[in-house]
Amino acid sequence: MLDQRRLPEEERFLELTGWEQVAEAIVSMTVRGAPAIGVAAAWGVVLASRRGADLAEAMGALRAARPTAVNLGWALDRMAAVLNRKPVDQLDALVISPGIPHLHPKPHPAAEMARAHHIEIISDIELLMRAQPQAKLVGITGTNGKSTVVTLIDHLLKSNSVATALGGNIGRSALDLDDPGKDGVIILELSSYQLETTPSLSLDAGAVINITPDHLDRHGGWDGYVAAKANLVKAVQSHGLTVLGADGAVVQLADQAASRLVIADQNMAPDTASSPDLKGPHNALNTAIAIEICQYLGVDRNALIAALPHYRGLPHRMEKVGQMGDIRFINDSKATNGDAAAEALKSFHDIYWIAGGDAKDGGIGVAANHLDQVRRAYLIGASAEAFAAQIAAACPVEISGTLDRATASALHDAQMDHCLNATILLSPAAASFDQFKNFEDRGHVFRQIVDGLTAPAVMEAAHD
C-alpha cells in the first residue's frame, strides 16, 4: 500500500512477507494518526487473496484485530521489504491512498511501475467491495457537502434504529468498518480520487450533490473530474436509487443512471428552522438528498423530519466557536474553495470575513458574487493580494497576513461598528497548506484565537 502521509524518503512500496507476520504486525501497531487499517491490513488482504484465502474471512480477521492506526515508519523497519528486493510481477495490486497521484498531473513512480507491469491500482474501498459485505451500501460524492450529507444520513438512520457504519473519505477507513448485517447500512463518503480506483463499486443508493472546479490537476482537467464523479452514478444498481443535485454539471449525468433517479433541490427539504446546524440554502439541499435516500431505505419521512433538530454538524463546517456580546465567531475552515465559501456568505448577515490561503484554480471564485453582507474582508496567506484584487471593488479589504491579526482586526471593527448580531466568519475559499498542516489545524488555531479573545480577562480589558 502506498500512503501519501509518509515522508518523501519513505515513499516506497511495502510488501508483507507472510500472513503470520501480518497478524503479528496488526496486533502490535502503534498510533501516529494514520487511517485505521493502514499498510499492514491492506497488504494483508491482498496477500491473503493471492494465496487463495477467502477474502471475506481475511478481512474479518483483520477487523477482529482492531488496529487503530499505523506507525508507518515503524512498519517500514519492522515488517516491510522495499519493492526492489523482490520481483514486481509477484504483486497482484497496488493499494493507494487517495493522496497518491496515479494518472495526473504526474503518476507517482510506483503507480507508473505498476501500470507498466499490468498491476491493478485500487483503493481500500475496492477491497471492501470485494469482501461483499451483507449490509446495503450508500455512496455520496460532490465537490462540497459530502461530509454533511453522510453524517446526516448516519444520524437519521441511527435515530430510527437502523444499524450503520460510516467511513471512507471521512472518519474510519473502509476496511475498518464493521459490517452491520443485512438489515444495516454502510455509508461511504467517496472522493473523486477514490471513485477512479474502485472499479467494483456497487451501491444500493448514491448521490452526487454538486460538481464545481476542484482538484482539476489530479484529473487532467474538468472532463476528467466530471468523469470521476460519474463513476458513482454508474455504480448504483438497477434496483437502487440515484439522487442528483439540481446543478447543471450534475444533471448532465442523469443519462448514465441505470436506477431510479431523483433530481433534488433545496425546495424539497422540510423546514429546518429548528435545526441550527442545518443553516443555509446549501444545507436545505443536503437535507433533501439525505431524506430521499433514507426514505428509499425504508424510514418514514415524518420520523426523519422529527430527527433533524437533533443533528449536530461537523467541526470546521460553519461551526460556532465563540460569542462576545452580539458578535459570534464562525469556523468554516472546511471551505477550501470559492463555492463552499459562497454558501457560508449566503447564510449570515453583517459579516466580517476572514479569507485566503493556498488558492485553488479560479481563486476566490463565486464567493466574489456574494459580498452584499460583507462589511469588510480580512485576507491572509499566500492568496491575500490576489483575493484583494478580485474583491476590493465590492467591499473594504484589509491585508492581514495571518489568522491572529485578521481575527483581532475583525473583532475590533465589529465592536466599533456596534453592529447587532455581527458574524466574524472564517471561510477561507482556499486550502490551508501555506500556513497550516490542513484545514482542521487552521480551524483549531482559529478556535484558540477566539478563546483567547473572548476570555473574561480580555473582555474586561476591552471594555475598560
Does residue 47 have a pLDDT over 50?
no
Does residue 51 have a pLDDT over 60?
no
CATH of the domain at 386: 3.90.190.20
One domain, residues 306 and 378: no
Give the model's pLDDT for residue 117: 84
Give the model's pLDDT for residue 16: 36
Tell me the range of 42-46, 60-64, 72-76, 270-274 where mean pLDDT is highest: 270-274
Does residue 14 have a pLDDT over 50?
no
Tell me the pLDDT band of 310, cut-offs 50, 70 and 90. very high
274 occurs within a structural domain: yes
From 215, 234, 320, 346, the catalytic residue: 215
182 is catalytic: no
pLDDT tens sequence across 222-238:
999 999 999 999 999 99
One domain, residues 183 and 230: yes
Does residue 462 have a pLDDT over 80?
no
One domain, residues 166 and 260: yes
Three-state SS across 195-211? HHCCCCCCEEEEEECCC
Q: Distance between CA atoms of 114 and 310, rounded to whole angstroms?
A: 47
Tell me the pLDDT band of 59, cut-offs 50, 70 and 90. low
Query: Both ends of the chain: CA-CA distance in Å?
Result: 59
pLDDT tens sequence across 347-395:
999 999 999 999 988 889 999 999 999 999 999 999 999 999 999 999 9
127 occurs within a structural domain: no
From 102, 108, 136, 146, the catalytic residue: 146
One domain, residues 89 and 108: yes
pLDDT tens sequence across 84-94:
444 566 677 88
From 144, 169, 286, 337, the catalytic residue: 169
One domain, residues 116 and 137: no
Grid coordinates representing 55? 477474502
**Phi, psi for residue 28 in degrees, rounded to 5:** -90, 5
One domain, residues 285 and 331: no
Q: Return all residues near 309 (Cβ < 8 A) that are at least 6 apart.
A: 274, 275
334 is catalytic: no
2 occurs within a structural domain: no
338 occurs within a structural domain: yes
Q: Distance between CA atoms of 258 and 247, rounded to whole angstroms?
A: 19
- Higher local confidence (pLDDT), 71 or 174: 174
Long-range contacts of 265-268 (CB under 8 A, 24+ apart): 268/292
Burial 270-287 (b: 16+ CB within 10 A, else e): bebeebebbbbebbbbbb
One domain, residues 143 and 248: yes
One domain, residues 62 and 81: yes
229 is catalytic: no
Percentage of residues in the chain having pLDDT higher than 90: 67
Grid coordinates representing 303? 420520523
Q: Distance between CA atoms of 99 and 191, rounded to whole angstroms?
A: 10
Instruction: Please name the residue that has the C-alpha cell 512500496.
Output: 13
Q: Which of 265, 285, 310 is the last residue of a domain?
A: 310
Tell me the pLDDT band of 6, cut-offs 50, 70 and 90. very low
Does residue 204 have a pLDDT over 60?
yes
39's enclosing H/E stretch is: helix 38-50
Q: Distance between CA atoms of 150 and 189, rounded to whole angstroms?
A: 6
Q: Distance between CA atoms of 419 and 157, rounded to whole angstroms?
A: 41
- DSSP assignments along 417-441, one per residue: HT-TTEEEEE--SSBSTTTSSSHHH
141 occurs within a structural domain: yes
pTM score above 0.75: yes
One domain, residues 138 and 105: no
Please count the helices (runs of H) and the strands (runs of E) in the chain: 17, 14
Domain count, the chain: 3
Tell me the pLDDT band of 400, cut-offs 50, 70 and 90. very high
Amino acid at 433: F
Give the model's pLDDT for residue 7: 35
Q: Which of 310, 344, 364 is the last residue of a domain?
A: 310
Does residue 100 have a pLDDT over 90?
no
Give the model's pLDDT for residue 60: 55
Would you give the distance in Å from CA 388 to the centre of its chain?
Answer: 28
One domain, residues 96 and 167: no
Mean pLDDT over all residues of the chain? 84
221 occurs within a structural domain: yes
Q: Distance between CA atoms of 102 and 114, rounded to whole angstroms?
A: 10
Residue 428 burial (CB count, 10 A): 37
Amino acid at 17: T
Percentage of residues in the chain having pLDDT higher than 70: 79
Q: Which of 95, 122, 149 is the last residue of a domain?
A: 122
One domain, residues 152 and 296: yes
- Higher local confidence (pLDDT), 92 or 317: 317
98 occurs within a structural domain: yes
59 occurs within a structural domain: yes
Give the model's pLDDT for residue 73: 36
Would you give the distance in Å from CA 13 to the centre of its chain?
Answer: 26
One domain, residues 149 and 298: yes
Per the structure, the complete domain to which residue 69 belongs is given by 8-122
Give the model's pLDDT for residue 21: 42
Does residue 80 have a pLDDT over 70?
no
Does residue 13 have a pLDDT over 80?
no
Give the model's pLDDT for residue 356: 98
pLDDT tens sequence across 137-170:
999 999 999 999 999 999 999 999 999 999 999 9
SS3 398: strand
CATH of the domain at 270: 3.40.1190.10
